[in-house]
Amino acid sequence: MTLKEVKIGSEATVKRINGEGAVKRRIMDMGITKGTKVYVRKVAPLGDPIEVTVRGYELSIRKSDAEMIETV
pLDDT digits 0-9 by tens, 16-25: 999 888 999 9
Q: What is the DSSP string of 28-55?
A: HHTT--TT-EEEEEEE-TTS-SEEEEET
pLDDT at 49: 93
Domains parsed from the chain with CATH numbers: 3-71 (2.30.30.90)
Phi, psi of 19 (to 5 degrees): 110, 170
**Which pTM value belongs to this model?**
0.86
